[in-house]
Amino acid sequence: MSGWSEKDIPDQSGRVAVVTGANSGIGYVAARELARKGARVVLACRSEARGAAARGRMVVEVRGAEVDLALLDLGDLGSVRQFAATFPEGRLDLLVNNAGVMALPYGTTADGFETQFGVNHLGHFALTGLLLPTLLATPGARVVTVSSTMHSMSNIDINDLNSERSYRRWTAYARSKTANLLFTHELARRLAAHGSDVVAAAAHPGYAATNLQTAGPRMADRKLSEWFMRIGNRFFAQSADAGALPTLYAATAPDVRPDSFTGPSLAGWRGSPASSWRAPWTLNDQAAGRLWDASEQLTGVTYDALKA
């Protein structure tokens, strides 16, 4: 992995990729670089205006890029189902579960789930399950889910997944990122038991400057916190381009193993992609299984193709 960069991405010609939250930040960079290497990329975005602007930018930056826009609101299971039902491609080589929200004031999704858990985990759980038949039918497909080092702040509470007993915005964020890793762990286990060659892996960007850091403080009208986040992004964070490298590595490098977790090499903060530390609770088979069962119940999306 040493010194790995976007120049090392293998040729992606003939491959189809879906990147959620591809209108900005790490998702935009990941989608752009996949397109640069020849993939047909679907930008799965909540806002049609921001998605269209991103697509317009991308086709200028990458001559000949094959880029489509499709609307997807991960906070609305109806939207997730609509996206999957109208997905036009006969193959899906790469699903990048990138979109996310961070440290928002308490709120709920269209289906009544706590927003961070609902968007960061349940939306992607449902999306992956609904696209699973296409993934299984595509040789060498991958599912890459973007987590965070912040997962180490808290394990999930299986008895209070929607933070109904108490809500702390950073704890809820950490739990949603733990859920991302438990999902990857259980998905990898089930794919292996099914005999599938689909690889489920996870990645994180370290500290990368995106609009993720400022959205929460702005929504809560916490001007000092928003200013602090902007200062951090400017002077301490690495760029979104650098932050996207672990995701791109997990998505394209030939030696990526199921249930791996890739992040920046320098203390998980910045640098080229490397194997990343993860909290022991994210490798707990029992917890992963319980979260999976709860997620199927909450979303109504069952992974029938992986059942015995």
- Nearest C-alpha neighbor of 146 from the set 237, 27, 50: 27
Query: What's the residue count for the chain?
Result: 308
Which candidate in 28, 167, 173, 207 is catalytic?
173
Q: What is the DSSP string of 140-198?
A: T-EEEEE--GGGGG----TT-TT--S---HHHHHHHHHHHHHHHHHHHHHHHHHHT---
Distance in angstroms (rounded) separating the CA atoms of residues 83 and 70: 7
Distance in angstroms (rounded) separating the CA atoms of residues 96 and 75: 17
Write the CB contacts of 87 (distance below 8 Å, at least 6 apart in sequence).
Answer: 18, 42, 70, 131, 134
- 167 annotated active-site: no
Residues classed as catalytic: 173
